Amino acid sequence: MLFVEFRFLFFFAVVFGVHWALRSNTARKWWLLFSSHFFYACFFIGEPTTFCAHLTHGEWSQLPAGWWFPAVLWGSTCMDYAVGLGIAGASSETRRKQWLLASLVANLGVLCVFKYFNFFLSSASGFLDWVGLHTSLHTLNIILPYGVSFYTFQSMSYSIDVYRRRLEPVRRFLDLAFFISFFPQLVAGPIVRAMTFLPQVFEKRVWANVDVRGCATLFFIGFVKKACVSEFASQFADQFFAAPEKYNHAGALLGVFFYAVQIYCDFSGYTDMAIATARLLGYELTLNFDFPYFSSSITEFWRRWHISLSTWLRDYLYISLGGNRGSKLFTYRNLMLTMLLGGLWHGASWNFVIWGGLHGAALIVHREWTRLTENAGAVFRRVLAILAVPLTFYWVCVTWIFFRAAPTYNEKTHLLEATGLHNAWAALKAFTFTGGRGKTDFSVECLGILALLALVHWLNSQRMIGTWWRRLPDWACAILLGIGVAVALLFVPVKYKPFIYFQF
């Protein structure tokens, strides 16, 4: 049930109406908890009436693959609820650590089994074959549950914060279950911290505090990003990555740039709609994007891109490894490990590890560059300021090549399908002038579209077109929004692609 589908709008209309009709805060949370698990179950059970008919008649072979995955979400919730109470009631520091370890083992174990078992097994088998020890290890037909990487990180953040004494353990199971399963951010983020969300759960939401106009506008912007811009850009990105060796440098630039547009509009569009949906119910989610392609360094990029993940990795992984509390080599080791594991978080593929490693290397180089040029002259700084943004964007696009070539989720087979490193290598050669003797195969209009998108994005980053509609009367804003929706519907595809980050 994608946010851009009309059936989601029907689902949300029901959830929205009942939520605000209920007077009790507890009743509202029970309703949203039920709605969230129903929303999540719809990703696995297919048509609810058909599923229930098969289930009541005991036709287990007819049930969709992975129909029981919502139980994994319940298991993670129950585990960390018990862990929170266990840490609070522990009689010694050793017992507190044992409780925390139980949470880490359980949550990371779920990720390892569903997401990384086949990856580690096939990698080990390939290594043994390479050294001459032939094996007969067989991978399993494991289906990846939607959103498992997101809700396990949320669940772990609760246990870690309780262990660090930054958060009091939740006494009512309802409150924690609602926090972990809240449907707007459940399957693709943003990754919400218990410290920021749970205080909202304890207080009754007030309709008067809801910015309806702002929420409707933000949802519409997210819809346009995903349903119009991302879907349009994906046509050219898919065309290039299907056969990158056929393109010259100009064609490779356009193909990779279109993918940069696609993944940004796809993921930030989902985030916009998730934030707007949550706000309409009275809850505030975490900011996840802040115009990352206008970053002047790779360090700044990670302060602006997927903010909820980058801050999670910083606070719970990088700092736990030791952070910068040591020698320069120690700090850079921690930084590289964090980015490598951050890449692996995105998926079970060496492509993602390479992607994370490239970003880790860039972060280290930027730190050294900053140190070496801290006493540079004013002219050098001005030149650097002009080149910083395009150079950063270019490097980000280089790393996107490996990200795009990684395995993607196939809805029909429910398995990950690899594009292959050979495609990544061919695309990289064409993108960096070292290969690609083919043709551009993209019209001049494509370049114009990219330029127009970049201009609109830049104007919005400068807050030039972001708030003027606030000055309009309600009736004028409603008419304008209705016209915008009507025009946008003319450009939406017949069938939407799943959100890219659903596979993580």
Give me the active site residues, please.
346
- 415-417 vs 408-410, strand pairing mode: antiparallel
- The Cα 213–Cα 468 span in angstroms is 13
Question: Strand pairing partners for 409?
Answer: 416
Give me 460's structure tokens: 């919005």
- The Cα 8–Cα 15 span in angstroms is 10
Q: Using alpha carbons, select from 120, 36, 38, 144 the residue that is nearest to residue 502.
A: 144
What does the buried/exposed string (b/e) look like for 121-131 if buried means 16 or more CB atoms within 10 Å of the residue's CB?
eeeebeeeeee
**Owner of token pair 């009689």:** 91
Supply φ then ψ for residue 409, to 5 degrees. Answer: -85, 130
Whether the CB-CB separation of 246 and 228 falls below 8 Å is answered with: no
Give me 3's structure tokens: 């946010």
Give me 187's structure tokens: 């399957």
Q: Which amino acid is at 472?
A: L
Residues 6+ apart with CB under 8 A from 45: 51, 63, 64, 67
Whether the CB-CB separation of 407 and 419 falls below 8 Å is answered with: yes
Supply φ then ψ for residue 10, to 5 degrees. Answer: -65, -45
Report how far apart the first and last C-alpha atoms of the chain are (Å, whole number). 17
